[in-house]
Amino acid sequence: MKIITTCVRLATLVSVVGNIACFGAKVEEPGRSFIIYCAPDLPESSKATLKTQIQYFIAGGSGANNQPKWGMRPGDSLRICDGAKRVQIGETLHIPAEARTPVLQLKCATATIKAFLEFLKTSGGDGKSAGINLPLIFSDELKEKNAKILLIGSPIYHDDVAAHDMRDGWLGDGYFNQPRAITVFSVSGKKENLKNATVRFCTLDVPWGTSNKLAHQEMVKRFWAVFINECGGNLVSFHPDLREELEALASSEAKPLLIDPPRETNEKSMKVHQSLIQMQPPVTTITPSDITAATPIAPPQVIQEVGTSDMEIKAVPDWITIDPQLFSKNHPLPAHLPAKDNVRIGLTWSTVGASAADLDLHVRPAQGDEELSFRNTKTPQGKHYKDFSNPKANNGFELVDIDVPVDPRYLSVWVNAFKGQSRNGFDGEVRVLYGGSLGVYPIHIPGNKGNEGADAAQREKSSDWVQVKVRIPSAPH
């Protein structure tokens, strides 16, 4: 009797273990969280595709024999939001476990689909301003972790504040480290906002606003890749095809576009305007080293100035703005400066009494080298950075870094009045940082109207150019 009881107990135990094993084999994968931010004024052609594809996505795809190929599955959730206002459209969709066919999944989504189609119906436009407001929609922490996000609309940020607007150029990394009160692109306190989310950006057919469309597109993409990364997520796609992006949204393979985010440095990255983009060669690829060198992140050094209509972000290296005597006091000269050293050259200019003044810095490290300027921003010897604002009220700013040792005797520095009008000519200042010494050179250009560098070959005889004869204390002459 005891043997029989023991056998019964063993049989029961085996049965229970078998049931547990079978139950474990049937456990579904954890549900995924999808969020779609859609611009309100998409072009009609994009709306037509979206109406169909969003329903395919919710139904789990449109494979043969009614078998799901891509898209949602039981256990998943979806929120659809206005990409300009962050307002949720309709209710959150949850696909229950028992909805195991495309028809049942669509049936669960009736209210969500109806609200979304109504949103598309009541909003309209030509697509030129169909923008996604990333600073707004990512300004707070998402409630979903590891969300899969799709942005549908233009990545070009529109703003009445010229320093924020992307229609005529791109923005640099200097904005990210500023306080929130200064700029909407600040990432202060946002490290956990996206909680490891993967972000896809369907850009549609964006009318890029500059003559160099490839450069504009690449640098706007890079800007948002850094912004999303600093908010805790990863930009994994930046593509115009709506159907392709919807089909890829549920994909488990998502490689970040930004592999090596740039390191923080002491330089100020800038907004690049139309006048500069027109002169740049097309950009086809961007490597991590190019990103770090070309657009460094600025430290949180800001002076806020409110002009007649706009608030601008103003931050530059302190050796350009500091009082020269104070700099000399804090940086005593060594006994002997090197015969050759790296050099940094900064130009600032006053716009007081000069309408829309724009001066340009031209630097040739040595005879036979390429000249660095806004027309030629990177050479084997160095880099040129351009900005139109700095901490000095109503001033412009440019910077050239020479990354190889230079003999100051052979350094060529010129300034051109590129644009603007001034009855009394243009005034500015060039500063040269060499071997720890700071040279300060006030300049005056007698011409009263910028000539866009038209007479560069005859600059020695032009009233629109001035040469800065650099003299380094204790350096050989």
Length reported for the chain? 477
The confidence score (pLDDT) of residue 316 equals: 55
Q: With beta carbons less than 8 A apart as the criterion, state whether 311 and 329 touch.
A: no
The confidence score (pLDDT) of residue 282 equals: 29
219: its two tokens: 């640098």
Residue 124 pLDDT level (bands cut at 50, 70, 90): low
92: its two tokens: 């959150």
The confidence score (pLDDT) of residue 252 equals: 76
pLDDT at 372 over 60: yes
pTM: 0.54
The confidence score (pLDDT) of residue 88 equals: 95
Residue 446 pLDDT level (bands cut at 50, 70, 90): very high
Burial class (CB in 10 A: 0-12, 13-18, 19+), 462: buried
pLDDT at 16 over 80: no
Sign for the CA dihedral angle at 435, 439, 445, 450 comes to positive
Once rounded to an integer, what is the mean pLDDT over residues 281-290? 28
pLDDT at 56 over 60: yes
Average pLDDT over the chain reads 76
pLDDT at 107 over 80: yes
**Beta strands 198-202; 234-239: pairing state:** parallel
C-alpha span between 88 and 95 (Å, rounded) = 18
Q: Find residue 34's DSSP bridge partners.
A: 78, 148
Range 279-313 burial, b when 16+ CB lie within 10 A, else e: ebeebeebeeeebbbbbbbbbebbeebeeeeeebb
C-alpha span between 60 and 155 (Å, rounded) = 28
Q: Find residue 359's DSSP bridge partners.
A: 417
**59/335: higher pLDDT:** 59
Residue that is written with structure tokens 């590129």 in the block: 418
Least confident piece of the model among 62-76, 172-186, 280-294, 373-387: 280-294
pLDDT digits (tens, 9 = 90+) for 423-440: 888 888 999 988 778 888
pLDDT at 262 over 90: no
Those residues whose C-beta lies under 8 Å from the C-beta of residue 383, and which sit 6 or more positions away, are 293, 294, 372, 377, 400, 401, 403
Q: With beta carbons less than 8 A apart as the criterion, state whether 430 and 319 touch.
A: no
Once rounded to an integer, what is the mean pLDDT over residues 233-237? 93
C-alpha span between 265 and 176 (Å, rounded) = 13
Q: How many CB atoms lie within 10 A of CB 404?
A: 15
C-alpha span between 36 and 148 (Å, rounded) = 9
Q: With beta carbons less than 8 A apart as the criterion, state whether 412 and 430 touch.
A: no
pLDDT at 263 over 80: no
139-143, 259-263, 320-324: which has the highest mean pLDDT? 139-143
- Quote the percentage of the chain above a pLDDT of 70: 73
The confidence score (pLDDT) of residue 233 equals: 94
Selection from 433, 436, 444 nearest residue 468 by Cα: 444
Burial class (CB in 10 A: 0-12, 13-18, 19+), 31: middle
C-alpha span between 55 and 33 (Å, rounded) = 17
The confidence score (pLDDT) of residue 228 equals: 94
pLDDT at 4 over 90: no
pLDDT at 98 over 80: yes
Helix orientation angle between 44-59 and 110-122, rounded to the nearest 10 degrees: 170
The confidence score (pLDDT) of residue 28 equals: 52
260: its two tokens: 């090596």
Selection from 388, 392, 371, 389 nearest residue 380 by Cα: 371
Q: With beta carbons less than 8 A apart as the criterion, state whether 396 and 389 touch.
A: yes
The confidence score (pLDDT) of residue 306 equals: 26
Q: At 392, which amino acid appears?
A: K
Once rounded to an integer, what is the mean pLDDT over residues 163-186? 80
Q: At 458, which amino acid appears?
A: Q
